[in-house]
Chains A and B, each alone.
Chain A
Amino acid sequence: MKCEEIAELLPDYLQGSLKAPQDHLVEQHIEECADCREDVTIWKKLSLLPSEQPGAGSRERFEAMLDAYQTGRNEKPSADREKRRSVWNWLRSPAGAVAWSAALLVIGIFAGNYLGSKTTHSNTGQDEIAAMHTELTNMKQLVVLSMLQQQSASERLQAVSYSRREDQLDPQVMSALVHTLRYDGSVDVRLAALDALSRHGGQPQVHKGVVDALQEQQSPLVQVALIDLMVEWRDPDTAQRLRNFAQTPNLNPTVRQRADWALSKLN
């Protein structure tokens, strides 16, 4: 038998999954052929390499991560807050957004006409109309957001992971992600959004969104992830923000420690 034919059988032979009579063929061949024999020898020799053992602190690090994660997840909003939140959620939902944007538009037109007829030289009316324009632009964005506003966290997670497939993000999707990072109710979704955003640190909008998010986050896990990302970006102005953040009273000790560590890295 030739080496090429043996080559097809050799990998199975090495894993011991070759059956008779093929294994005999291989054995016969390697007795005659030095190169193939050495292939087998080197494969066997690999067992000399010891298996690398993780350091002793590995389990503790894992426990700390798990703790931080669960603390973050168990912070359930109180019933009262829940109620207020549902109104807020309605306002933020696409239907709510359309409704209040339309309302603003009507108020704006009335106000504009009224003020415009009274004081022709005042800019207030125009400002009002400019504001309405912004409002309408925001509506588009809110429609994109609706994708991220599904009831179930796993669907929102899916939306975030879809966005990760694109190398270039539409600015609206980007701001939707920043929004998710800041306000999503689920720690998982916020973390996933941060993950997705971490690739777009070059965008000023993303950069600002991430830095701003730090002050608002309640979950230690998200806080730590944000701090880590800031260290990665190595941006001098974040140092000041971090310093302020590290002063926050009642900060989780792990997070404070992380912030101190980050500051030592950034300075």
Chain B
Amino acid sequence: MKEQERAETENDQAMKLAPDEDLMLEVRNGSGATLGVLFDRYHAPLFNFYSKLTGDRTLSDDLVQEVFLRILKYRQSYQPGTPFRAWIYQIARNARVDHYRKTPRHISFEPDMVAPVMPKDSAQQLEETELLHRALMQMPEEKREILVLSRFQELRYEEIARLLGCELGTVKTRIHRAIQELRQNFKQLERGLAPREAGPAVVKTIPPRRFENEM
């Protein structure tokens, strides 16, 4: 009995250290339980991604669940050798686009989200954080996404290029433009001016890009 327990613990340990790709192959071969390890690794980053992108915590929660359901459903389409991180973000983007296709979003953004937990700091920093958050949220989602991916999800530019289906140079240019826009929004907010509205129907400009084998 004890030996069995030890073997199980060792197995758990090995699983916790295994690369994502190996775990995903196990999931692909029918081990649903292994998906739990991948869930532990990715559900918080994905939640943060959706939450920063949409400003809606409930929706973000739903979308994270949807991503893992899709992984189960389409696990056969995972090709060995595909970087798992790229694959899961691809699914995540598609899940969001499909969601907006089904439920067109409200254009006005005044989120009914629970305020995020702010770091306990000086009043000035708190204000700055709030302004920054707003400045980010005022950007069109397409530009915000590239910032979120590079700054918060810490994806390399190469990964982002692959994800968005564009050239590396394009990613860099778009990042730079997004930073400039964020900076301008932030300055305007600091001066107490409302910046121009983010255009509606942003999602049209973000076509989902699917891998050849489709998911």
Contacts and interface: CB of A to CB of B under 8 A. Distances in A.
Nearest to A155: B76
Contacts of A165: 214
Given A157-B76, A161-B77, A39 B180 contact: yes
A62 B47 contact: no
A50 B119 contact: yes
B176 A54 contact: no
Contacts of A127: none
B132 A46 contact: yes
Chain B interface mostly: helix
A69 interface: yes
Interface in A214-237: 232
B183 A46 contact: no
Contacts of B156: 15
A14 B146 CA distance: 14
Interface string B61-91: 1001100110011111100000000000000
B188 interface: no
Contacts of A161: 77, 214-215
A69 B31 CA distance: 12
Interface stretch (A3-11, A105-113, A132-140, A241-249): A3-11
Interface string B35-57: 11001000110011001100001
Interface residues of A, number: 47
A39 B173 CA distance: 13
A53 B60 CA distance: 10
B180 A66 contact: no
A191 B73 contact: yes
Given A65-B68, A188-B76, A49 B147 contact: no
Given A49-B133, A50-B119, A66-B35, A58 B172 contact: no
Interface string B146-175: 010011100011000000000000011101
A198 B98 CA distance: 11
B25 to A, nearest CB: 14
B175 A49 contact: no
A8 B133 CA distance: 26
A70 B128 contact: no
A45 B48 contact: no
Given A11-B172, A55-B61, A69-B72, A164 B214 contact: yes
A65 B65 contact: yes
A192 B117 contact: no
Nearest to A64: B65
Contacts of A52: 47-48, 51-52, 57, 60, 116
Given A58-B47, A62-B68, A48 B129 contact: yes
A49 to B, nearest CB: 6
A12 interface: yes
Interface in A46-105: 46, 48-55, 57-59, 61-63, 65-66, 69-70, 73
5 contacts: A11-B172, A11-B175, A54-B64, A158-B214, A198-B102
Given A42-B186, A65-B68, A70-B32, 10 more contacts: A7-B176, A15-B157, A46-B136, A52-B116, A53-B47, A58-B47, A66-B72, A154-B76, A162-B214, A232-B102
Interface of A: 7-8, 10-12, 14-15, 35, 38-39, 42-43, 45-46, 48-55, 57-59, 61-63, 65-66, 69-70, 73, 153-154, 157-158, 161-162, 164-165, 188, 191-192, 195, 198, 232
